[in-house]
Structure 1
Amino acid sequence: MTETILVTGGAGLIGSMCCEELIENGYNVVSVDNYGRGDIFGDEGNTESNVTEYLDDDRIDHHQMDIRDDDFDEIVASVDGIIHTAAQPSHPRSIEIPYEDFDINVRGTLKLLEAVRTQNPDIPLVFTSTNKVYGEMPNYFSYEKVGDRFEPVDDTLWNGFDESLRIDQNKHTPFGVSKASADLYVQEYARMYDIKAGIFRLGCVTGGAAHAVELHNWEPYFVKLALTGEELSIYGYEGYQVRDVIHAKDLANLFRRYLESPSPGQVYNVGGGRKNSISLRESFDLIEEVTGNTLEYSHAEQREADHQWWISDLSKVHRHYPDWEITHGLREIFEDITKALRKNLDEVS
């Protein structure tokens, strides 16, 4: 019998790519999404349009539903695995809506865990955490300017931060705290109740399904401003800050592999790694190559608890899942984003 996987936040960037990955590999999918991203970011952030773009398949049973709804538990009881991507995803936005951020990220995740524990305890579960659980800890290290980017003075950090980086005693923003709390709850349920849950602390996840809003997912937002000719504000570090970028399709492939071979209670840092790392300044050149447009920008104040440099050390996830690899390079990622945004802008005009 074909297995059925539940994807929460199924209309979102990661969720929609997970739905595609699963049906391409013979699964049926139940997808739920409350389209709350539109409430958080406005119309430009609403992911409802992704339903017709990515979830139009008979093997995907999509529901407009909140994971905090009572009838959500019935779905949990009926599936063979879960990928939990539903969240309030923005650390700057969380400063303005800390209670809502907590309610979605912590209470929603705890409710999901309880439904699994009491009704379907043997299924595997993927939890999408974030590198923001580490708060400002990456900023406690020393960096120097090398070309158009920061690089760590300590050579042992060349491949990035691993899972041993501590998470406490530093500033996080409410988003970092809520995701750290949910992260620990998932770990605890794996250890205390033997739930087959894996925790994935993500770097910058993006792709053509991402919606271009300033407060979350910087890559499509930068590309959008290049296409429209609007000026970009760079928040702190003069644009030398480094991020590692991973396409949501590559992440979805990893999540499927986890469902098929779970490692309960394990925590993984996952992003683009050293290979897909890029500074904001470096991204300007790449965006100009891909779009043909120059991105105009000015500088603004640094955001709270923003990372100066982040690269995910992928050593652990490669040890546990050696057949998984990143297949989308930086140029391919930005080309995918540009193609999707050009289509959207043409439809609007």
Structure 2
Amino acid sequence: MNLPASMKAIVIEGKGGPDVLRLRQLPVPTPGAEDVLIKVAAAGVNRPDVLQRQGNYPPPKGHSELPGLEVAGVIASVGADVQGLSAGDEVLALVAGGGYAEYCVAPAICCIRKPQSLSFVEAAAIPETFFTVWHNVFERGALKAGEKFLVHGGTSGIGVTAIQLAKEFGAKVFTTAGSDEKCAAARQLGADVAINYKTTDFAEVVKRETDGRGVDVILDMVGGDYIEKNIRSLGDDGRLVNIAFQQGSKATVDFMRVMLKRLTITGSTLRIRSNDVKGHIARAIESQVMPLVVSAKIKVPIDGTYALADAADAHARMESSAHVGKIVLMV
């Protein structure tokens, strides 16, 4: 594949609202020995991209400062030490940055071959949320068949993924969402109990629906006063997994509950983890989850697509919290 010298990409000029996202012409990046260069067809938009734009989530040292954590496209070139992938292969990939561009470098170990049945838009909407949910719900949270699971933000990209995966692997699924319409959408995806958090105390509903026992695993990206409510909503030996703190990372907590119920409180952020860790998750997704996507047992709900040049509009849509499913840039 003949490579151009430059490419179109979205840069963050300053920090602030969506208007600081600007389309610019930049040099095409060069892959390292263990990397591939992907000609991007589509790139997912995620909440961490918004945080980076606001100046609250800088990229790891040594990685691209361009936003974008997941892409799908065609491999344009491969590094000297890459095996098993070649130019022309269609892939989806988790990256630490650089996705909002016509070309993006990705570690070969973090790539998954794109099934022919998936569009590039659907494929680009998979890596960030599926890697995050698999690692935090099934590896860190150790969710098992027959257990009860609560995920907040049921119609977010993380939410729609967590609901479907937890349900498919045999859990009873609880979720919260910000309107009756969103609750209905969550139930269509497989949620057994969907709670409008604007009108109802989710902790009271969980208590009632579990006969006072509580749920086994909670995936939370809200934080703030949810932290104490989550602890109240967990049953004996329950696990709380935090992946973000949209309402703040500090809370007043009665740790007596943690001790008496033998709770585990954990959390993680994926972006700073090593490529080996991400590669391990990629192989698990490849073997355990992608067959479910190919068979349409797991869907990839897309809220909307935007041209690369309209990245600011995509961010405004995400910040409105009106979306149901993933937002994707067409490159």
Smaller-chain TM-score range?
Answer: 0.3 to 0.5
- Choose between structure 1 and 2: higher strand proportion: 2
- Choose between structure 1 and 2: higher helix proportion: 1
Tell me the TM-score normalized by structure 2.
Answer: 0.34
Tell me the TM-score normalized by structure 1.
Answer: 0.32
